[in-house]
Amino acid sequence: MTDAKQEPIASRYALAFIFVTMLVDTIGLGLIIPVAPKIIAELTGEGMSRASEWGGWLMFVFCAMQFLCAPLIGNLSDRFGRRPVLIASLLALGVDYLITGLAPTIAWLFIGRFLSGIAGASYTTANAYIADVTPPEKRAANFALVGAAFSLGFILGPALGGLLGAYGARVPFFAAAGLSLANALFGIFVLKESLKPQNRRKFELWRANPLGALKALHRFPGIYVLLSVLVLMRLAHDANPAVFSFYVYAKFNWTTQMVGYALMAVGGLMAIVYGVLVRIVVPKIGETAAVYLGLLGAASGFAVYAFATASWMMFAGMVPFALIGFVTPALNSVMSKLVGPKEQGELQGALACVGSLTSIVAPLLLTRIFAYFSGPKAPVYFPGAAFLAASLFLVLAALIFTRVKASSPALQPAE
């Protein structure tokens, strides 16, 4: 009886540790976003239109390495535990930020993205950690913790990045490196292992690669259908990190501080969705309706971005866009219920693999759309074209979801 009472307490402490770890990690990431376009332009000597294409290739390298390595890391966490994998990824991010801060040429940025992409599994491993310590009926709410930490980090990180960027484009990278390395130390001394010895499984190389990981999911009916929706959602979502800063610099001549404040506003809204609304709304309307709410809300937000004629309209579009925070926790919760405790890491690795594959395509596609319609050869000047494309992706995702939800076993849990 005593053990039963202590278990929820231990789980709450574990979730608190994960929240803090993700928060500090995201602050480090958010610090560099306002200044990344400027350091790319500084190293290449080119304007924002061309710099956005370099930014797309940098995201391509990062996501390509995540695509190749996420299944490996997910399977390693099923074998050796979540804690060592999480700590290793944080150390790699710290090294990436140091390399970027010291970079004398654009090639150094690619080296940093290559290394951080290999170990970019902190969110994947965090989700597996949450699945380890959370009963199925509470997973949607607790998966949202990672999103809440991510969003809160984007309140603090971009604001600090915008302010530090005033002292030099490289300063935020050194600050981010310090936070990431400090976060790794936090994990070494504080974070407890969540995967019980009896739930660990043998490492199998055939499952630890993208094709093997995706093929292994065929054992779970309905997951492939849900993945198609997730792919379109991620393809649209990546318009924000890929294009937003370049767009507002080019169209509205924002400063780094203004970009920081805007991303802080997005983070605040997303934190409300992840940290409060998901826990209240999803139990009331169900996971299926939550997916619709997120997809169609974000589609309208991207449409506002695309046709914005004044800075205030960008902030107005953030409100419906933030509803995208409902999609991932709802879908993740459904999919996590389809697999056993020994395969949560494999599932999260496969999901990260799919997300990374989508993110390989998204930056190249969306930044090229932006570069084309904001460049001198554009038939009509329309820098918002990438955001309009993102809106259409989300509408298509909602249509596919409508077509398959009745026949998908994954969407039949009682709501």
Asked whether residue 204 is domain-assigned, the answer is no
Residue 198 identity: Q
CATH of the domain at 400: 1.20.1250.20
Check whether 415 has a pLDDT greater than 60.
no
Q: What is the mean pLDDT of residues 137-158?
A: 72
Residue labelled with tokens 């596919």: 400
Asked whether residue 209 is domain-assigned, the answer is no
> How would residue 413 be classed by pLDDT, with cut points 50, 70 and 90?
very low
Check whether 307 has a pLDDT greater than 50.
yes
pLDDT for 13 equals: 64
Q: What is the mean pLDDT of residues 210-221?
A: 66
CA dist., res. 329 & res. 340, Å (int): 18
What is the C-alpha R_g of the chain? 20
Other CB atoms within 10 A of residue 2 CB: 6
pLDDT for 394 equals: 96
CA dist., res. 24 & res. 185, Å (int): 12
Asked whether residue 166 is domain-assigned, the answer is yes
Tokens found for residue 358: 């989508």
Asked whether residue 67 is domain-assigned, the answer is yes
Domain limits at 36? Answer: 2-188+218-411
If one compares 232 and 334, the residue with the highest pLDDT of the two is 232
Burial class of residue 189 in the structure, from the number of CB atoms within 10 Å of its CB (0-12 exposed, 13-18 middle, 19+ buried): exposed
Q: Which of 286, 300, 240 is nearest to 266 (CA)?
A: 240
Computed over every residue of the chain, the mean pLDDT equals 78
Q: What is the mean pLDDT of residues 128-151?
A: 73
Which range has the worst mean pLDDT, 22-36, 90-104, 153-167, 229-243? 22-36
Check whether 9 has a pLDDT greater than 50.
no
Asked whether residue 211 is domain-assigned, the answer is no
Asked whether residue 11 is domain-assigned, the answer is yes
Which range has the worst mean pLDDT, 70-79, 100-109, 206-215? 206-215
- What pTM was estimated for this model as a whole? 0.65
The total number of structural domains in the chain stands at 1
Check whether 122 has a pLDDT greater than 70.
no
Burial class of residue 400 in the structure, from the number of CB atoms within 10 Å of its CB (0-12 exposed, 13-18 middle, 19+ buried): middle
Which range has the worst mean pLDDT, 47-56, 197-206, 238-247, 380-389? 197-206
CA dist., res. 408 & res. 223, Å (int): 8
Tokens found for residue 40: 């790319």
CA dist., res. 230 & res. 223, Å (int): 10
Other CB atoms within 10 A of residue 12 CB: 11
CA dist., res. 250 & res. 379, Å (int): 17
CA dist., res. 47 & res. 13, Å (int): 48
pLDDT for 297 equals: 95
Q: Nearest 5 degrees, angle CA 340-CA 343-CA 348?
A: 120
> How would residue 39 be classed by pLDDT, with cut points 50, 70 and 90?
confident
> How would residue 29 be classed by pLDDT, with cut points 50, 70 and 90?
low
Q: What is the 3-state secondary structure (H, E, C) of the chain?
A: CHHHHHHHHHHHHHHHHHHHHHHHHHHHHHHHCCCHHHHHHHHHCCCHHHHHHHHHHHHHHHHHHHHHHHHHHHHHHHHHCHHHHHHHHHHHHHHHHHHHHHCCCHHHHHHHHHHHHHCCCHHHHHHHHHHHHCCHHHHHHHHHHHHHHHHHHHHHHHHHHHHHHCCCCCHHHHHHHHHHHHHHHHHHHCCCCCCCHHHCCCCCHHHCCHHHHHHHHHHCCCHHHHHHHHHHHHHHHCHHHHHHHHHHHHHHCCCHHHHHHHHHHHHHHHHHHHHHHHHHHHHHHHHHHHHHHHHHHHHHHHHHHHHCCCHHHHHHHHHHHHHHHHHHHHHHHHHHCCCCCCCHHHHHHHHHHHHHHHHHHHHHHHHHHHHHHHCCCCCCCCCCHHHHHHHHHHHHHHHHHHHHCCCCHHHCCCC
Asked whether residue 213 is domain-assigned, the answer is no
Check whether 127 has a pLDDT greater than 90.
no
> How would residue 63 be classed by pLDDT, with cut points 50, 70 and 90?
confident
Asked whether residue 180 is domain-assigned, the answer is yes
Check whether 71 has a pLDDT greater than 50.
yes
Residue labelled with tokens 């849990």: 413
pLDDT for 3 equals: 43
C-alpha count within 13 angstroms, C-beta hemisphere, residue 285: 15
> How would residue 5 be classed by pLDDT, with cut points 50, 70 and 90?
very low
Beta carbons of 183 and 27 less than 8 angstroms apart: no
Check whether 41 has a pLDDT greater than 70.
yes
CA dist., res. 142 & res. 331, Å (int): 13
Check whether 8 has a pLDDT greater than 90.
no
pLDDT for 410 equals: 47
For 317-376, what is each residue's pLDDT tens digit? 999 999 998 988 888 777 777 666 666 666 666 676 677 677 778 877 888 899 889 878
